[in-house]
Structure 1
């Protein structure tokens, strides 16, 4: 993968966005040094999560950084000695284990499972397809979000359990529980994390009895976990080459995205009957979250498909994942009588079964959605020459069959050909279906899973510090910045980024207050208002903290007056 800067392709506004985010990242790391000296481990870990969350969604020219993750590793190594932890019992391991013999016990450590999205479907299909193992889930940040019924069902059928660690509890407490629970529930731990989840880093910082594999769910962005992962489980080959250049991984494995085909799946006619779509209608389908379609400086999906629909009057476009309200900010396609905004749905399979052709959205494609949509025998058109290969589908099943369009015109031409040529549509659709079945549904996937389990079983778990890194300006950095910059339409984003960071710090302060870390929460408010006037929210938070802060200071003075004896 080309990571060298190509200044001829660098957009000045994207470069400015990257520079602004890099500056904010460096400032946050610098402030952490002061927090590390003055604050509790809980506050330091909260600040690390804040930095990681910012870097993951506002690209700062960095994909992994020992200057923050190694501190969490050190805290984790001293976890039993962490101060300020009130003893609490472990969550109950309730539920009877069914009397069946299994090859292994797998504990999936998951930040959160949501009703919509490829990450949840990856976990669901993994458990569905791995019938030889018992599967349990430990959720580190599920909160009040309901666990999808399908997840509850497949875990129960496998003989496993689901334990949710309350996100209102201290990070340190959740890490202690995770460290103790994981070996009780599994012979191997598989991490499915959002980029800023620090709990598993702290929990697996010390030696444990089970190996740890981390699923690479975000190869395009910053994430935590390289220090504690005995192996990275990559869902596509491009992730491995990116890891070697962008991260500090020790061992990279390949496991294609697991897909599951329901034997009772709907036919095209049945699906259309349920949706009220006529047999003669040409259905173009695309699936993805609204942010993935936001126009970048160089690419505008909605303008492109507007041209496509003008040239193909018989075609209708169905967009699953975006509602009409989501799309209100742009006039392109708004009110179009052949564009159907379906909104978010937990199971898009009925629309996938009804489609004639699937088109990948841009600037950020949805690989799981594309592969699932191809499975019924539907041809696909891949995203227009992506800003970065990491921002589009890249899969062995597509190679040699579905070529990447070089530009907008070729994207329209490929789609138009499938619209008008039913024979080619059927031939290419069936060829793609067979390849997706082979790599993602049938025995080849289970063979890859067995290899991954074998590689992990051969590992003796260890945690290793990673090098500190600095923000860079490679071509991949400019590309990711152009995509992330779609959330900030103004030309000058410095103030918007500063406001975002400030609000994130105040949110972290509130979280610390909820965990009883009042003095640390007050310090966060001070950091949020560095060189700025205090707004109403800051003043309100501080007012609620001042009584607790006063009590804490008096307790510290009392200890000093008594010579350290309470």
Structure 2
């Protein structure tokens, strides 16, 4: 595993050097294609980097060479300003009908009623963009999409942003367009960290980082070298919901479930359940199911065709669903997925006052709650996890009600609208400063090794895509530099062998 991280970081570093050579030769568009490929590679392959200041500095250099005064569709765009109200522009790469990332943006907009919000997509076509906006009741906002190549989109984004008081980045980890638009430019940019476990770009153009996990503030100051203000901004919850007992019984009956059945529910993308050497959700849950035939578990996000699942008569795999209300209603207990948790699904269960059973012994890089939350904390091992889950199933000493009490306490202090709005206003009104470029750091600890199980870990750097429609000069220069890097690598290995034989 460590060798693979080292190889990936070596590949990343040398490709970045290659992109820098293209920049120095004045081949800016080709350099940008290369940088985007590098960022994409680092997102899905463990390089040990969580940020690359060297990559972002190169983007800043390219940005300084671009002409942002050229005519584009937002040149004459003017947005009305209302006194005491911020115009907020949410920049997305793509948004989806399902998934937590899109819901983060939706919740921000719908719960921040004091300000005006717009959305702009860097990567979607009009039809797909509008479909998702309608699904989330966001089509009434002033919304836009960018078109053209990378440079044209960056120019459009900067022109559009002039009309806004605050800019929020909800972008893909490898989306370099905001970096081009906001480098060397005075703006007030908030970056929402929705992918805290992996590499992402944008750290150099952000003036403020909004963290959805409180523990990330300290982590990212070190591993990403963040020296600007960071704020904890949890997922907002409008109100706690009460379950309708009669409707719950009716839905259970319609699904063919007996009145005395005990319903467990878990929701996450399939890859989050992929077993590793230490945790196997399916083996663990089978152990629980075998203790009582009345226990049924519904798993949303996973199908029976996924290679790592275990088939069992009391496990019902539902795959990806857009409407999950019935299953949320009938759930007696919500189980956090593991080895990787889905905090958006976990918080939704807490919001509906379903007792949540957290995974045991999470890695630091995925720990969402702190252990100072009274009884609502992570079990230290499988034995404790099993014991507490069986207590929840039997509801000994009204244990479910006890857990719900501590969940509600946590939500009132952090996620409910009054607490959340106070946190958001602190972000809007803070002093916005720029980051300073610094040295890159590559980490090779147990956290990086753990996350390798949930990344592609294969070379998805597409030379074919990179060289498509390129000039003969760029083609010749590319292979000239590649061969030079290969020769250097061979020489380094030969020197190591020579030294070891001395």
TM-score (norm 1): 0.77
Aligned mates of 2:318, 2:76 — CA distance in 1: 41
Aligned mates of 1:270, 1:529 — CA distance in 2: 65
Contact kept in structure 2, 1:378 and 1:426, CA below 8 Å: no
Structure 1 equivalent of residue 463 of structure 2: 505
Specify which of 289, 309, 316 is matched with residue 269 of structure 2: 289
Aligned mates of 2:360, 2:75 — CA distance in 1: 49
Aligned mates of 1:91, 1:351 — CA distance in 2: 49
Aligned mates of 2:296, 2:286 — CA distance in 1: 11
Contact kept in structure 2, 1:401 and 1:432, CA below 8 Å: no
Structure 1 equivalent of residue 175 of structure 2: 197
Aligned pairs (5 A) from 1:63-462: 63-80=50-67, 88-90=72-74, 103-143=85-125, 145-146=128-129, 147-149=131-133, 153-154=137-138, 156=140, 160-166=141-147, 169-184=148-163, 186-208=164-186, 210-249=187-226, 250-261=228-239, 267-271=244-248, 273-274=250-251, 276=255, 277-325=257-305, 327=306, 329-330=307-308, 332-334=309-311, 336-386=312-362, 388-394=363-369, 399-421=373-395, 423-455=398-430, 458-459=431-432, 462=434
Residues 60-114 of structure 1 deviation map (CA, whole Å, 9 limit, x = unaligned): 11111122110001112232179xx8x54339969x97x9876211111111111
Aligned mates of 2:389, 2:475 — CA distance in 1: 56
Aligned mates of 1:470, 1:231 — CA distance in 2: 21
Residues 149-202 of structure 1 deviation map (CA, whole Å, 9 limit, x = unaligned): 45663352xxx3110113xx2111111100010122x21111111111100011
Aligned mates of 2:326, 2:413 — CA distance in 1: 22
Aligned mates of 1:106, 1:505 — CA distance in 2: 38
Contact kept in structure 2, 1:201 and 1:225, CA below 8 Å: yes
SS of the residue 2:215 aligns to: helix
Specify which of 48, 56, 59 is matched with residue 35 of structure 2: 48
TM-score (norm 2): 0.86
Structure 2 equivalent of residue 466 of structure 1: 437
Aligned mates of 1:520, 1:321 — CA distance in 2: 48
Unmatched runs of 5 consecutive residues or more in structure 2: 485-502
* CA RMSD after TM alignment: 3.1
Aligned mates of 1:434, 1:228 — CA distance in 2: 36
Contact kept in structure 2, 1:43 and 1:520, CA below 8 Å: no
More off after superposition, 274-283 vs 359-368: 274-283
Aligned mates of 1:505, 1:72 — CA distance in 2: 20
Aligned mates of 2:328, 2:390 — CA distance in 1: 19
Aligned mates of 2:316, 2:465 — CA distance in 1: 37
SS of the residue 1:213 aligns to: strand
SS of the residue 1:418 aligns to: helix
Contact kept in structure 2, 1:286 and 1:360, CA below 8 Å: yes
Aligned mates of 2:449, 2:442 — CA distance in 1: 12
Residues 249-279 of structure 1 deviation map (CA, whole Å, 9 limit, x = unaligned): 222112112234487x763542563462444
Structure 1 equivalent of residue 495 of structure 2: none
Residues 282-302 of structure 1 deviation map (CA, whole Å, 9 limit, x = unaligned): 111111101111112322222
Structure 1 equivalent of residue 18 of structure 2: 31
Cα 1:42–1:428, aligned 2, differ >3 Å: closer, same or farther? same
Cα 1:417–1:525, aligned 2, differ >3 Å: closer, same or farther? farther
Cα 1:103–1:478, aligned 2, differ >3 Å: closer, same or farther? same
Unmatched runs of 5 consecutive residues or more in structure 1: 1-13, 489-496, 532-566
Contact kept in structure 1, 2:189 and 2:206, CA below 8 Å: yes
SS of the residue 2:137 aligns to: helix
SS of the residue 1:109 aligns to: strand
Aligned mates of 1:91, 1:162 — CA distance in 2: 16
Residues 212-255 of structure 1 deviation map (CA, whole Å, 9 limit, x = unaligned): 11111111111111111111111121110111111122221121
Aligned mates of 1:358, 1:259 — CA distance in 2: 18
Contact kept in structure 1, 2:97 and 2:135, CA below 8 Å: no
Aligned mates of 1:132, 1:190 — CA distance in 2: 16
Contact kept in structure 2, 1:110 and 1:192, CA below 8 Å: yes
Structure 1 equivalent of residue 493 of structure 2: none
